[in-house]
Structure 1
Amino acid sequence: MTEEFPHTITFQKPTRTGDGGGGGGEITWEDAFTTEAHVQPLSSNQIAQNQALETPVDHRVYYPARNDVKPDMRVLHGENILDVQSKPLDQGGLDEIHMLRCQMR
């Protein structure tokens, strides 16, 4: 880990289990990959602004750019589960660092 990415996170992808009767079944979560990251909680002021805009975001997650992160994934950070609320956003335009807006469960 580097100073730029002091945390370790695991991305999980959803899988749907069939109920045997043709229905959707339950969603279970499967580890996709683990990577270094910087998980940044938003300030109470930023959270209030997001709530006023009805945007459920209370964390930003920065990580080395990858092409396999999807908006339907979630992030595990220690004991915390962060639901992804945005597509990956390129930081700086060089496709080196991506950022996700997330909400803690």
Structure 2
Amino acid sequence: MIGLEEFPHEVIIQVHTEPVSDGGGGYLPGTGGWMNVDTDDFFGFLDTPTSREIYEAHQLQHPFDRNLYYPYRTDITPKMRVVCEGDIYEIVSKPMDQGGQNEIMKVPLRLVSPGG
């Protein structure tokens, strides 16, 4: 069983939703924008990539700032974003199953908005 010691960071996954029309050419207040995917506790491990990973990503013009490791699940997509410790990250590629064992996923993140 994978425990909190392996995944110490509380993470929020968000998806962008379209605003709901009010039928008169406008939109209903409070609709649209970034919404939390679920309210369940979600924990991951936010890690700094190696200097080699950073260099290779820049050479390929796909820079990223962090790697997020989390327990296996298949509902996270590149159209979502991650909020952790006040920082907002975009997901820059499809999540990868580490080792193909359906246990741990890895996804690279790019910092969009640093927290306070």
Q: Which residue of structure 2 aligns with residue 60 of structure 1?
A: 67
Give runs of aligned pairs for residues 36-75 of structure 1, distance below 5 A: 36-75=43-82
TM-score (norm 2): 0.76
Q: Which residue of structure 2 aligns with residue 81 of structure 1?
A: 88
Give runs of aligned pairs for residues 91-102 of structure 1, distance below 5 A: 91-102=98-109
Instruction: Give the superposition deviation at 1:68.
Output: 1.4
Listed as ranges, the gaps of 5+ residues in structure 2 are: 26-31
Q: How many matched pairs? A: 102
Q: Higher strand fraction: Structure 1 or Structure 2? A: 1
**Alignment partner of 2:17: what SS?**
strand
Q: Separation in 2 of the partners of 1:42 and 1:18?
A: 39
Q: Separation in 2 of the partners of 1:85 and 1:3?
A: 26
Q: Which residue of structure 2 aligns with residue 6 of structure 1?
A: 8
TM-score (norm 1): 0.83
CA RMSD, Structure 1 to Structure 2 (Å): 2.2
Q: Does 1:29 align with 2:29?
A: no
State the percentage of identical aligned residues.
Answer: 34
In our comparison, the structure showing a higher alpha carbon Rg is 2
